[in-house]
Amino acid sequence: MPSIYQLKPAFQNLLRPMVQRLYNNGVTANQVTVLAGIVSVLVGAVIAWFASHPWIFVLVPIWMFLRMALNAVDGMLAREFGQQSHLGAYLNELCDIIADAALILPFALIPDASLLLVLLVTLLALFSEYAGVLGAMVGASRRYDGPMGKSDRAFVLGVLATGIALGWLGALWVDGVMAVVAALLVYTLVNRVRHGLSQVKENAPSA
C-alpha cells in the first residue's frame, strides 16, 4: 500500500551530510533514539498540560517533523557507520511506541473529543507496530506496510494539530480523523501480517 515511508530514501539523502558530521563528533545511534523518545514524552506532557490553549498543538507538527528526521538519522548512523546492536533494536522499537502514545493521547484533551477514539488509535498504533516487528520473528523482514505507518500517522496528526492550533478544527474533526485513522490502522495491521506471511512463504525452500 502507498505510504509516506516510501519517501524515506530521498529524505535520508538530504540528511546524509548532517549524519556524517554527527558521527564525526561522536554521536551514536542509540543516543539519538533515546533523545527522540524523551523529547516526545516531554512534548506530549507540555501539550497535555496546556491543552486548554489550542495554540499549543502547533508543537505537534513541528516535533513530528523533527522526530521523523531523528528517526532517519539514528537508522543511518546504525546502518552506515557500524552502530547496529541488539540494544539499539530494542531502543528503536520501544522509544517509537512510547513516543506515539505520548503524542497521540493529548488529543483526548480537546474539549468534547472522544477519549475512546483517541485511546483506540493509540492502541492500534501500538498493535500495528508490533505486527511489523513480528515479521522478523516469523522469518520475514520487519514490515513497514501502509497505509497508516508511523510516517503517515505523523503527517495526519500533524495536519490535524495544525488545524486545532489555528482554531479551524474542533472536537468533531478530531473524532472524524481519529475514526478514519483507526480504520486505516486496522487495515495496516492486516497488511503487515498478510505480507509478512507471504514473504515467509516466498522464502521457504521448495520441496
pLDDT in the model for residue 1: 53
pTM of the entire structure? 0.89
Q: Considering its fold, how many domains does the chain have in total?
A: 1
pLDDT in the model for residue 115: 97
The C-alpha cell 493509540 sits at 122
pLDDT in the model for residue 15: 85
Instruction: Answer yes or no: are the C-beta atoms of 8 and 150 closer than 8 Å.
Output: no
- Residues spanned by the domain of 91: 4-203
What is the residue-level pLDDT of the chain in tens, covering all 207 positions? 555 555 667 777 888 889 999 999 999 999 999 999 999 999 999 999 999 999 999 999 999 999 989 998 999 999 999 999 999 999 999 999 999 999 999 999 999 999 999 999 999 999 999 999 999 899 899 999 989 999 899 999 999 999 999 999 999 999 999 999 999 999 999 999 999 999 998 887 754
How far is it, in rounded angstroms, from Cα 75 to Cα 56? 30
- C-alpha dist (Å) from residue 158 to 150, 152, 180: 12, 10, 15
Q: Which CATH number covers residue 124?
A: 1.20.120.1760
Instruction: Answer yes or no: are the C-beta atoms of 91 and 48 closer than 8 Å.
Output: no
pLDDT in the model for residue 109: 96
pLDDT in the model for residue 203: 81
